[in-house]
Each structure stands twice: as C-alpha cells, then as structure tokens.
A and B are shown apart, each in its own frame.
Chain A
Amino acid sequence: MNLAVRDIRHNLGRFALTTVGIGLLLMIVMGMGGIYRGLIYEATLLVDQVGADLWVVQGSTRGPFAEVSRIPANLEDRVRAVPGVARARRFVSHTIQREHRGQPLRMVVQGLSWPEDKGDWVQLIAGHPLRQAHYEMIADRSLGLPLGEKLKLGKDVYEVVGLTKGMVGTGGDGLCFFTVSDAEAIQFDVPGEATRLERAARLARLENLDLGRVTPLLSERVVGPASGLPALALPQVSAVLVTLRDGADQARVSATLATWPDVTVYSTQQQKDLLLSGMVDKSKRQLGLFRALLIIISTIIMALILYTLTLDKIHDIALLKLIGARNSVIIGLILQQALFMGALGYGLAWWLGQYAFPRFPRLVVIETPDLLMLGGIVLAISVLASLLGIWKAMSVEPNKVLS
C-alpha cells in the first residue's frame, strides 16, 4: 500500500495547487535556460549562415557585432587580391527603428554585396533573392511585413521581395537584407534641411578661422556635398567577408591580412567567441542568477508545503510509530510525496512550455541536455525540500497519539 499516494488523494486540492505553482516556477526556470540557448542561437545565426571563412574588420576592434567597425569599402578589392581568397564581400550591419503603419518597426539592416551577393544563401520561405541593385529587400517574417509590402526608409521606398523565418540579430530584431548601397543610404540618410544647416554651420566655422580667410577656395568647397570633402570620405562598410579558395590555408591567408595595420582579422569561430564572450555572457550570468533564485524559491515553497502536510499528519505518523512502522515507511511517505510533487511539477512545466515558449517575443530553445539537467535539479530539490518534514516526522514520539 502506498501511503504517500493515499495521503495525496486525501489532500488533493492543496497538493494540486502547490504542484501547479511549482510547475509554473519550473516552467520559468526552464524558459530562462531556453532563452539563454535562444540568445546563443540568435547571436551566432548570421555568422553561421553568412558562410564566410574570415572577417576583416577595423583595426584593433572586435567588430562588427561586439563593437562598431568602420573600414573603407574599397578594402574589398585589396582583400580580393590576397592569394587564397576566392571571394570578398562588403558587409554592412546596423539596427534601425522606424515607424510603419503607426507601429514601431525595429530591424537589423544587413547589406549584401551586390552583384556578387544577391542573398542566394539566405533561406527563404517565400519570394526570391534580390534581383536588382536598389529598392528591394528580404525581410524576416517576425517583422510582420508581407511579400510585396512597400516600406519607406529614408528617401526611398523598398519592396519586400523575399521572406525568411527565424533570421534575427543578436538583439532579437528581425533581419532585413538590402544591397550594401541601399543599406548605406538608409544608414546615412540625412534630411535636406539638416544638410543645409550643416553646410551653413560649416561655412560659418570656416569664416571664423584663419584658414578660411587665407584659402577662399575652401569656402566654395564646404558648401558643396559632404562627399566632396576629403575629411568625409565615401561611406564605409562594417566588415569585409572573405571566402577562401578550396584547399587554401586559412591560417596563412589570415596571417597575410593580419600584417595590414589598418585591419583585424577573425575566423568565423573567433567571431562567434567574441559574440558569446561579450554580448551573451552577461545575459547568461543574469539568467543564471534568476534561475538559481527561482530554484531556491521553489525549494522553499516545496519544503514549507511538505512540512505543513507532515504537520497535518503528525498524529498519524506517531500512530504509525506506535504500531511499529519502521522509519523507512515514514521517510518513504514524505519523500515520495516530495518526489511526486517535483515530478508532476516538472512534467507540468514541460507541457505548459510547449504552448507558452513559442509565444515568447525572443526565441526559446529547449535542448535535451538542459531538460535532463533540470530534471536532476528537480530531483535534488525534491529530496532537499522533504528534509524538513522528515526531520519533524522523525522527532515525533509515539506517545503523541495519546495527546
């Protein structure tokens, strides 16, 4: 006869409510683990999918994701000339937030090096890759933009020609792929009035300088386009992506590029490590702390409920001792209840998670090793939570029956 099951049946309401509470807490613990995995997945998704062997970024920076990287666009041509390089592509990436149909629209603008890169490597669920140099975009479906939707960004209107699924940036914002020139136009778009004001300010500054007085030609130049000034060079890109020839020695190409003082070179793995050690690491620690706190709270709640359930039947436990029940019978009664509670709470957490996690705004990835680890933790906290009740049960004397 299983005393634990019969007692649970007798106190079904309280047991069920507690189990639901524990289940919800465990679901959050499970979800936080999943959010962490999701962060890693999202952070490394683009690096994985873009298919580059080497990332050439601004010298002494850890760009283009961990920090800002600016390199001249023509670096692409220099890189292409290095022996062992099959392909070099400009890479532009920046996040913008605009308003669309009255709602904020936040997206990661990703530049594709047209015409070499039309986005054929991007996995589409609808539409097609870019087919022209301007005014087309591929959007992730998380942005809620349907095929054919037209979106005004800066001074131009872009049409959604392809849709992806699950392509998000490190911040969880949907990716949008444009040609590099369109991506730069979006990034460096400045309203006409701002341009006029800046030119006027520039002219006023020059007139106050000796340089302006002794070099009148400059005053003609400063009111022209900013691109005409040597100080404001052509828009720069974030990185150049390198694809090596078959059989090329990556270390050798990397070493060659590393001799250039104006750039830094990272392999794909190094780029991922930069992302994970920098951006994701703090989130990992924060989520880990929350998980630890929730596990402690779950343990305390379980312990208190089990203790209360034990107190409720302390007279029955004394009776069991009186009629000769071994300690193992009494410990088993409490421990089994704790394990039932933990197991049911865990099962409930998993089941609820199937419905809840896909509705979370960020990706939640639940992996089997994480589930197994949480199962082990639940087992441990169930045993831990039962100790208080077991201690109380062990300390009761059989003559308590007489009181």
Chain B
Amino acid sequence: MNPNDSSTPAIVAENLTKVYGSGNTEVVAMKDVSLRVARGEVIALLGPSGAGKSTLLTAIGLINPPTAGRIHIGGELVMDADQAKVDLREFRRRHLGFVFQKANLIPFLSAVENVQVALEINDASPRAAHKRAMELLDYLGVADRAQNLPDALSGGQQQRVAVARALANEPSLILADEPTAALDSHRGRQVMELFAKVAHERGAAVLVVTHDQRSLDVFDRTFQMEDGCLKP
C-alpha cells in the first residue's frame, strides 16, 4: 500500500501502550491509546506534563516503540508492539517530518544547508536539494536568512527553518512536540498557522503536542491526554 495515497488515513494507532521499567518500578506512560488521523488534518494533543503526550508522539514517530499496540502510517503497518515492520530510519526519512520545542538545527550548517541536508540524505542531488530548500525557506519567509548559521537566527526564524526541514521530503505526517514553547505568542501563532497551511495546502497530517491554549482555533481536532489515556 502506498503511504502517500490520499485515500488512506495518515495515522492509525491501535491500542498503544507504553510501560517503562518492571515490577515495583513499573510506570505506565501510555495506556491503550487509539487514534486515527486523516490526511490534511491538523490535530492538537493537549494535557499536563507527564500525561504521555510526548510518549504517544515519539511512538508514532517511530523513535520510541510502544510496549503493545499497532501503528499504521499511510495504511502501512509499521510497528506491531515493539516489533518494527519496516526499516524505521528509511521510513522516517521518506514519510515523516519532525519539529521540536527546540529547533535542533545543526549548528555548523547554514539555514539553507539545514534544509538541504534532509533532502540530500533522501538521495536528492545537491543542486536540486538546494533549489528545493530555497523554495521552502521562501515559502516560510526566511529566504533572506538562508546563508546564516543558526546562531545568527532568532528563535522564530530557527523554528521556521526547522519546519522547512520537516517539510523537505514532502512527508505524509508531521509530528511536532511543543514547537511554540520557546516562542512569543505572536510567533507561536504564526508557527501553528503555518502547520495548518502546510496540512491544508500539501495534504500532510500534522500532530502537534502543545500547552498553548491560545492557538487552538487553528486545529481541526484536539485531544486531551491524562494519565496516559487519550480523550477527545
């Protein structure tokens, strides 16, 4: 099944559970969570610290496998409990985009190179990657800072470069973990609107973990997580 097929849901998570430790030290971080997200949909995950939001996000992002449950991305079964059904790194490269609270830009690469590197590791030629990276920076309004190192960019500009990197390979799913936490409210809203724009214009599903209650109107749906359980 083609993960980029627009008729299939972007994410289907079934009965995801994540348990850390065992015996007396056992901690259930996520309990029987099921979630279905369509393409082009922008979803917010809300909840207090320790509720399991990031655990769910990293499980779906294939960087922290669940203890039980199944994950389908683009209709393809990718995780069955903690068993990977695909080459996870390859799958992340082709189908997922990540944005975090910190921009996590590579400090020795310029803004455009930070985007370009994501394209080049997905086998784009340097010239094509550069062209595409510049287009994305332009789309996100930071083309004029393309040659600057991350140190020379403001927090908002860095976050926009990080979004551009996440979009670089046209992923079917973008996962964002508190992407506006380091930004002022104006910049925070801009980033949230950007996600909505990307989702609606490019058909990518966007799952955002956030504490920011002021931009909730941007999202198509919101979910609340409490004690490892997901509530609509």
Whether B89 lies near A326 (C-beta < 8 A) is yes
For the complex formed, measure the closest distance between the CB of B151 and the CB atoms of chain A, giving whole angstroms: 10
Check A17 for interface membership: any CB of B closer than 8 A.
no
**Is chain A's binding surface mostly helix, strand, loop or mixed?**
helix
Contact partners of A326 in chain B: CB under 8 A:
89, 121
- A401 lies within 8 A of chain B by Cβ: yes
Considering residues B89, B93, B100, which has the most beta carbons from chain A within 10 angstroms of its beta carbon? B89
With A1-B116, A399-B58, A402-B100 known to touch, is A324 a contact of B108 (CB < 8 Å)? no
Q: CA–CA, A319 to B103, complex, Å?
A: 11
Q: Please, how many angstroms separate the alpha-carbon atoms of A149 and B61 in the complex? A: 88
Task: Tell me if B121 and A329 are in contact (CB < 8 A).
Answer: yes
Residues of the A chain whose Cβ atoms lie less than 8 Å from the Cβ of B117: 1, 3, 320, 323, 325
* Size category, B interface: 20 to 34
* Residues of A close to B165: CB separation below 8 A: 323
Complex CA gap A329/B123 in Å reads 11
Q: Are B116 and A319 in contact (CB under 8 A)?
A: no
The yes or no answer to A101 lying at the interface (CB within 8 A) is no
Q: Known contacts being A6-B108, A6-B109, A315-B104, is A323 close to B118, with CB within 8 Å? A: yes
Q: Is A14 an interface residue (CB 8 A)?
A: no
- The verdict on A7 contacting B116 (CB below 8 Å), with A322-B63, A322-B98, A323-B92 known, is no
CB neighbours of B107 from chain A (8 A): 10, 316
The answer, yes or no, to whether B170 is at the interface (CB within 8 Å) is no
Encode contact with A along B56-85: 1 for CB under 8 Å, 0 otherwise: 001000011000000000000000000000
Question: Could you tell me the distance between the alpha carbons of A131 and B74 in the complex, rounded to whole angstroms?
Answer: 102
Query: Which chain B residues numbered 107 to 166 have a C-beta less than 8 Å away from chain A?
Result: 107-109, 113, 116-118, 120-122, 126, 129, 149, 165
Nearest residue, chain A, Cβ from B110: A6
With a cutoff of 8 Å between Cβ atoms, the chain A residues found around residue B64 in the complex are 399
Q: B41 in the interface, Cβ–Cβ < 8 Å?
A: no
Q: In the assembled complex, which residues on chain B have CB atoms less than 8 Å from the CB atom of A315?
A: 104
A9 interface contact, C-beta 8 A: yes
B217 within 8 A of A: no
With contacts A1-B116, A6-B113, A399-B63 taken as known, whether A319 is within 8 angstroms of B104 at the C-beta atoms is yes
Q: Considering only CB atoms, which chain A residue lies closest to B90 in the complex?
A: A324
- A146: Cβ under 8 A from any B Cβ: no
Interface status of A141 (Cβ within 8 A of chain B): no
Inter-chain contacts of B92 with A (CB < 8 A): 322-324, 398
A residues 227-282 near B (Cβ < 8 Å) are none
Q: Which residues of B contact A329 (CB under 8 A)?
A: 121
Residue of A nearest to B106 (CB): A316
A315 to B106, CA, bound (A): 9
Q: Does A321 contact B (CB under 8 A)?
A: yes
Q: Which residues of A contact B106 (CB under 8 A)?
A: 313, 316, 319-320
Residues of A within 8 A of B177 (CB): 402
Residues of chain B contacted by A319 (CB below 8 angstroms): 104, 106
State whether the Cβ of B4 lies closer than 8 Å to any Cβ in chain A.
Answer: no
**Shortest Cβ-Cβ A-B pairs, 6 listed:** A324-B93, A10-B108, A325-B121, A324-B92, A399-B63, A316-B106
User: Which residues from chain A sit less than 8 Å from chain B, CB to CB?
Assistant: 1, 3, 6-7, 9-11, 313, 315-316, 319-326, 329, 397-399, 401-402
- Interface pairs (8), CB distance under 8 Å: A1-B129, A3-B108, A9-B108, A322-B63, A323-B98, A323-B121, A324-B121, A325-B117
